[in-house]
Structure 1
Amino acid sequence: MLTFFKKPIFSDFRFIFTVYALAALLISIRTVFVHDANNYRIFYFSLEHLINGLSLYNVYPAQYEDHYHYAPTFAAFFSPVFLLPYSVGLFLWHFLFTGVWVYAIYRMPLTHQQKVFAYWFSLHELFTSIANSQTNPLIAAIPLFAFLCFEKKQYFWAAFFIMLGFNVKIYSLVAAALFLLYPQKGRFLAYMVVWGILLAVLPVLYTSFDRLYWQYEMWVRQLFIKSDGDKWANTSIHRLIHLFISPDIASSVIIGLGVVLFCTVYVHVKKFELRQFRLLMIASILIFQVIFNPVAESPTYITAVTGVMFWWFCSPKTWFDKTLLISCFILTVMSPSDLFPRYLRDEIVKPYVLKALPCVLIWFRVIYLMHQPMSAKDTVLADNQLVNG
């Protein structure tokens, strides 16, 4: 079997991109003609509500289930899609986010074989998210685009991507942690303010300033409601701690301790110039924003799995690293699949949050590696890969 997958065709980007395109096509066909998509309904009707001056955050059971949780900017930014007929927009939605994630990996400073590995390893996880018509592939791609802009000293566009992510899902702001690794920090922060204002007022294309201000008040209120969710209804380190340590530990304490541990790596100022350290920071950011999210769900794990790829490319490949990677593929990537035994999934993986466990352990491994000695010769990727990748 392994010999079969070593054939050159499986390393050919044209073949890989065709596989991703066909998978997106099948999901679009199934969603449009068979299952529909509640998540996309929430997105689609947000623009109509914005234009009509209705609260984006009320319940509209005749149109969709659940709530809209995004900033008003989200509805305006994706208006070119939401202005299309419903079925057309839904059909294109899956191609949009599949393409964004695939392109982000392609542009990263990785070797050809590393990109190939990332594409095949993450394939199922990506489509776990896409099948739910989620925006998570974009959330996984945004820190990568921001990283590329930082590397090229394009701080204006780095700020744009980070603020765009914030307006989709607020925990995307974690990607701003990258700016401390680069010079011209003041300029970047100024650009963050500029983009924050521009994106915040973007919805005035469809509504008045007064109604927009009111929408932001509703958004903040909705965020507090969402963050106060059921502690047993998430797939994250929060539920693992509540299951195996104590259900009385507050989520704010868990997040606070995670932030402190995340920030300990900044003591290694001399390592900031090492590409390996910066790629491990990308891994830490991508995994952190999922496992410490108290409302994380299974489809969000394309972001964490993307981070796992960058950890793997920088890891020393010990037996421990290999065990972690295999456990991630089995428990995180494949456990939601029909190929995984249903009994194990329903009786062991879901009750004990084993989908999250490998990513949690890998994040701690990332932090450990960032504290270990490293030198320029340890950098796994040549500088010119940034341009050619």
Structure 2
Amino acid sequence: MVSFFKRPFFSNYRVIFGLYFLVTLFVSIRVVFVDGSNNYQIFYYSLDHLIHGKSLYTVYPDEYTDHYHYAPTFAALFSPVFSLPYSLGLFLWHFLFAGIWVLAIYRMPFTHQQKVFAYWFGLQELFTSLVNSQTNPLIAAIPLFAFISFEKRQPFWAAFFIVLGFNIKIYSLVAGALFILYPQKIRFLISCLLWGVVLGLLPLIFTPFDKLLWQYDLWINQLFIKSDHDKWGNTSIHRLVHTFISPDVATPVIIGAGVILFCTVYAQFRRFTDTTFRLLMVASTLIFQVIFNPVAESPTYITAVTGVLIWWFCSPQTVLDRVLLIACLIFTIFSPSDLFPVFLREQFVKPYVLKALPCVLIWFRVIYLMHIDTNKSTHGVNLA
């Protein structure tokens, strides 16, 4: 499979970027002119609600279904897009997030062939996210930009990306776990505080201070409501546990166990200087924030798949690793698509949460690899 992508045509960036452009163009045309997007309608009207002092978190059935779950900063941050005519903003929305994910992979310290493999492997999963007009490609890219900033000894910018992610989806805060691996910890924490204030107050451009405090109070309440989610309505380790172990296992117990296991790798402090170890930590954060999210949905898996790619480049690539990678390709990436038989998807993949299972197993594999010295160097890494 890997040798296939080494052929000159398939490893040519012009071909790859051209394909990504065409896929994104197809999605934009389809969503704007055929399907529409309830998700983007939620985003789009948030700016209007912020400006006019309306609750961001009330249901507006004449405008969209479901709720707005993001911080008030989100509406202000993307105001340049939301201020455009609706169809134009929606059309450009997909290009914005596809481009950010492509750029993040390009900036990572991978070899040319590793980047080529990442682009081909992640194409279908990115498509799944784009057709839902969600922010998940950005959420997948943010830990990569944070990692690059840490590696360049730029904790100020690493803090920016992590706080930015928090203001879009709070699970992005998991990427903050990277700072323990690097020096300048105090500078990073101070920078987080600074960026927290700057981004937190950004909506003051559009709304008075008292209204902003009111919006934040509503946001906190909305987060608790969203967390109290139907245990059978997610695609994560939570539903795997409830399906195969017991439906009575509480969400905090599952998350707590995951956090403890996640943090055990800090005992390997002597390996913090190992680039492979740090990359595996990035993989762990990307996968963790999806599989332990009690409201994870299929389109969020572009984040987990990005983590899977980093794990693959750092793994020993044994038979077990290859089996896990192929399982991820089949069940995580292809199962929601038209390339997968409908009968198998409805009778097996959805009931048994098979989309999540490969990523869950790979995350445990990542944790295991971080606890052992594989003596495997990361080829092609150049962080100078």
- TM-score normalised by L of structure 1: 0.97
Match for residue 234 of structure 2? 234
Match for residue 137 of structure 2? 137
Deviations 1:349-374 (A, max 9, x none): 00110000000000000000000024
Contact 2:94 2:133 in 1 (8 A): yes
Which consecutive segments of 4 or more residues in structure 1 shift more than 2 A? 1-7
Deviation, structure 1 residue 381: 3.3
Are 2:358 and 1:361 aligned? no
Deviation, structure 1 residue 240: 0.1
Contact 2:73 2:202 in 1 (8 A): yes
Structure 2: gaps (5+ residues):
none
Deviation, structure 1 residue 180: 0.1
Match for residue 73 of structure 1? 73
1: CA distance between counterparts of 2:371 and 2:3? 38
2: CA distance between counterparts of 1:2 and 1:147? 26
2: CA distance between counterparts of 1:320 and 1:210? 56
Secondary structure of the 1:212 match is helix
Report the count of equivalent residues.
384
Match for residue 325 of structure 1? 325
- Letter in structure 1 aligned against 2:367: I
Match for residue 35 of structure 1? 35
- Letter in structure 2 aligned against 1:153: R
Match for residue 87 of structure 1? 87
Secondary structure of the 2:158 match is helix
Structure 1: gaps (5+ residues):
none
Superposition map of 1:156-195 within 5 A: 156-195=156-195
- Letter in structure 2 aligned against 1:248: D
2: CA distance between counterparts of 1:14 and 1:29? 22
The more displaced of 245-254 and 2-11 is: 2-11
2: CA distance between counterparts of 1:4 and 1:313? 16
Match for residue 214 of structure 1? 214
Superposition map of 1:187-336 within 5 A: 187-336=187-336
1: CA distance between counterparts of 2:268 and 2:102? 32
- Letter in structure 2 aligned against 1:379: S
Match for residue 111 of structure 2? 111
- Letter in structure 2 aligned against 1:242: H
Q: 1:47 to 1:131 in 2, by over 3 A?
A: same
Secondary structure of the 2:128 match is helix
Secondary structure of the 2:383 match is helix
Match for residue 386 of structure 1? 383
Superposition map of 1:40-51 within 5 A: 40-51=40-51
2: CA distance between counterparts of 1:367 and 1:244? 22
Deviations 1:36-74 (A, max 9, x none): 100000000000000000000000000001000000000
Match for residue 18 of structure 1? 18
Deviation, structure 1 residue 139: 0.2
1: CA distance between counterparts of 2:27 and 2:130? 8
Deviation, structure 1 residue 203: 0.1
Secondary structure of the 1:47 match is helix
Q: Percent identity?
A: 70
Contact 2:236 2:296 in 1 (8 A): yes
Q: 1:4 to 1:170 in 2, by over 3 A?
A: closer
1: CA distance between counterparts of 2:275 and 2:305? 20
1: CA distance between counterparts of 2:188 and 2:44? 33
2: CA distance between counterparts of 1:190 and 1:53? 31
Question: How large is the RMSD of aligned CA atoms in angstroms?
Answer: 1.2
2: CA distance between counterparts of 1:317 and 1:77? 41
Deviation, structure 1 residue 379: 2.3
2: CA distance between counterparts of 1:285 and 1:307? 8
- TM-score normalised by L of structure 2: 0.98
Contact 1:233 1:295 in 2 (8 A): yes
Match for residue 63 of structure 1? 63
- Letter in structure 1 aligned against 2:290: V
Match for residue 125 of structure 1? 125
- Letter in structure 2 aligned against 1:252: P
Deviation, structure 1 residue 116: 0.4
Contact 1:238 1:294 in 2 (8 A): yes
Deviations 1:245-301 (A, max 9, x none): 000000000000000000000011110000000000000000000000000000000
- Letter in structure 2 aligned against 1:381: H
2: CA distance between counterparts of 1:187 and 1:76? 27
- Letter in structure 1 aligned against 2:378: V
2: CA distance between counterparts of 1:195 and 1:154? 14
Contact 1:143 1:162 in 2 (8 A): yes
Deviation, structure 1 residue 6: 5.0
Contact 1:126 1:137 in 2 (8 A): yes
1: CA distance between counterparts of 2:304 and 2:2? 26
Match for residue 101 of structure 1? 101
Contact 1:275 1:381 in 2 (8 A): no
